[in-house]
A and B are shown apart, each in its own frame.
Chain A
Amino acid sequence: MATFIQLLVSGLATGAIYALIAVGFTLLWQTSQTINFAQGEFVMVPAFFILEAMYLGAPFWLAALIGIALSVLLLGLTFKLIIVDPMLKHGVLPLVISTIALSLFMKEMVKNLYSSQAQPFPALVAPYDFHILGAVISSQSLAVLAVAISAVVLLHLLLHKTRLGRAMQATAQNPTLARILGISVRRMVLYTFMINAVLCAIASILISPIYLAKFVNGETLGIAAFLAAIIGGFNQVRGAIVGGFLIGILDNLSAAYISSTYRAASPLLILIVIIMFRPQGLLGRVEERTV
């Protein structure tokens, strides 16, 4: 039982990080039909912004804020203006290819600047063990869970309880109508990209102490989050959250009770089942398109 609880908490902590990244995926898709295949690299890069700020003498908390700010500027604003806007008018496929190219560029750039070796990254909190029902739960797992859940709750409040959030939702549901209602669709889409950058930067802060900061980290994270978004429902934020947690828990349980070697296959098996029996995802909506 104790082992199961530990696996569950650990899976929830990892799943919460996947959920953050997957939520970003769905936000971009909903507002601008952008499938960002550089999403994993968007999580990998902020860790290096933070390390660079720390190298220049900033304490961790300040470096983290600088990392988030730089992410918003470069991975939100600049990405939207320089890559998404010019490419989106040519359709989804050219944009997908552009984001694949961007992911390769970011990976190689980090490798050249920081070497191919992993870099140590500070943990969010000091290590401390909590003993619950015979299981040892680390303060770091709990901190990851707390931060990720807080970020999701804040996002939910922003989207559902503020005028700005409702305008963003309106943009996602029907851009033409939103425009008629006087909502600046362009600005709302831009805000979504900035929110995605913040989510990626937070995910980076949470995952890098575990994975260590390394140029290849985005590969695993990007795939896991993409699968989470599809399993949960690509057009629903809450679907992405459920998908993220599901993959995190499943990954841990299958590694422990089946085999580490086959752990990567478990989410794919779930994906196949979902596509066969519920193609819109666990919580997704069926989308009808006119031709």
Chain B
Amino acid sequence: MLRFGLCSLAVLATVGLATPGHAQSTIFMPAVVEESGPGAVSGTNFRDGLKLAVEEINAKGGILGKKIDMPIFDTQSQAGVSRGLIQKVLDNKPYVIFGPVYSGSVLVDMQLTQQAEIPEIVGGEAATITQKGDPYVFRTSFGQQASMPKIGNYIADGLKAKTVALVWVNSDFGKPGRDAFLKEMAKHNIKVLTDISTELGQTDFSADVIKVKAANADVIFPYINEEECARFLKEARKQGITKTPIVGETTLLSQKVIELAGSAAEGAQAHVGLTVDAPIPAVQEFLAKFKKKFNYVPDHNGIKGYTAAYFVKHVTEKIGKFDSKAFAKAAHGMTITPKDEPGILMEATWDENGDIDRASFLGEVVDGKQKIVKILPKIGK
């Protein structure tokens, strides 16, 4: 009760202080992200990507002559706090809202933004986000329904695996991911020997790793958040798992995981929807600018944040006005190429559900760095 009260006070204080009114020369586009709590790695990367893009856009005169006013609110990685913040920013009539990144938060927020008819540009990857028929939610990266088939193909055809050990985080991100993964495994006739649920923010993976090891599967697939990935990898190497391929999704190869897990991350492979290691000049240029400004190497969430702002800029310039409803209508089915909008970095298409389609990558940790071994084309190509 006390915690709830403190959180509510913090929400009220933050919103009250940060939105004293908006000048006519600016357009209000708040960002509601995870700056603290277990989602801080993802949220701060997303936030900094946004900041960089907004600074660039504003330096060039803004969007349709108006500069972006983007106050940032911290969800503390809690869905309840996130919902409270979204409600507050909606009271100030935003044009669009950026964030959050955590799927659990997105799932409780999107009812509010849909009701208010305000587009929400989110970082969440849970398949369920775009399966609810909400015309106001737009992804900045692959949903699980797009990434899992690519992983399934790689495990079946690339690694020729017949069995797999699955470790997943029991959250709004992990559960739909696990379901989508199991569907893919069934499609490829791959047997799931062990199916271990873990907790968000879990610190000790020794029992889980021992169970995984005992299963003796051809491939280990951890579908957990960044810090937990690092702890899992360290424990796996500690328990002598050195030969079985550890294959995952984007989080497994994030910069933070490589930094935290150190040599234990060596050899880990993953399907990566977005990466700063992509051999694409525009992405490399983004990486250089980001590193110069924030003094760290961003993960995929940094790119998500950066491209989210440019997505809004391009769609708004296309419709020629600040109209949230017209934005949502125009963005569905839109393809943006780097030629049209350099800030989008890679050609991307948003479908009728708000899902994004673009090329993706297969990566591996080699000598302490993520190395892209293959570029996978857009699904729609």
Contact = CB atoms under 8 A, between A and B. Distances in A.
Contacts of A140: 238
B197 A260 contact: yes
Given A129-B240, A136-B240, A260-B199, A120 B260 contact: yes
A212 interface: yes
Contacts of B208: 255-256, 260
A259 B231 contact: no
Interface residues of B, number: 36
B197 A118 contact: no
Contacts of A217: 203
Contact of A260 (B207, B227, B238): B207
A220 B199 CA distance: 13
B176 interface: no
A119 B296 CA distance: 14
Nearest to B207: A255
A2 B215 CA distance: 12
Contacts of B206: 7, 10-11, 14, 210, 252
A278 interface: no
Interface string B260-279: 11100000000000000000
B337 interface: no
Contact of A116 (B35, B202, B237): B35
Interface stretch (B36-44, B121-129, B137-145): B36-44
A40 to B, nearest CB: 12
B296 to A, nearest CB: 10
Contacts of B240: 129, 136, 138
Given A6-B210, A116-B36, A136-B239, A212 B204 contact: no
A251 interface: yes
Given A7-B210, A120-B260, A260 B202 contact: yes
Nearest to B37: A116
A127 B237 CA distance: 8
A210 B203 contact: yes
B159 interface: no
A261 B227 contact: no
Most B Cβ at <10 Å: residue of A6, A141, A217, A261: A6
Interface in B58-92: none
Contacts of B201: 216
Given A129-B240, A138-B239, A210-B231, A117 B211 contact: no
Nearest to B259: A120
B207 A211 contact: no
Interface string A112-143: 00011111100000010100000010101100
Given A120-B262, A129-B240, A138-B239, A259 B203 contact: no
A214 B259 CA distance: 14
A260 B211 CA distance: 11
Interface string B31-60: 000011100110010000000000000000
B196 A260 contact: yes
B313 interface: no
Interface string B229-242: 01100110111100
A115 B40 contact: yes
A141 B238 CA distance: 9
A115 B43 CA distance: 12
Nearest to A254: B207
Contacts of A209: 234
B37 to A, nearest CB: 7
Contact of B41 (A117, A259, A261, A263): A117
B260 A212 contact: yes
A214 B238 contact: no
Contacts of A216: 201
A250 B196 CA distance: 18
Most B Cβ at <10 Å: residue of A10, A111, A136, A138: A10
A118 B40 CA distance: 10
A101 to B, nearest CB: 13
Interface string A185-222: 00000000000000000000000011110101100100
Interface string B208-236: 10110110000000000001001100110
Contacts of A136: 213, 239-240
Nearest to B260: A120
B170 interface: yes
A2 B214 CA distance: 9
A3 interface: yes
Given A118-B227, A261-B197, A220 B203 contact: yes
A78 to B, nearest CB: 27
6 contacts: A3-B213, A116-B37, A116-B40, A138-B239, A260-B197, A260-B202
**Closest 7 pairs (CB-CB, A-B):** A255-B207, A136-B240, A116-B40, A10-B206, A256-B207, A211-B203, A116-B36
Given A118-B230, A260-B196, A261-B197, 15 more contacts: A3-B211, A6-B213, A6-B239, A7-B210, A10-B207, A14-B204, A117-B256, A120-B230, A120-B262, A138-B238, A210-B234, A255-B207, A256-B211, A260-B198, A263-B207
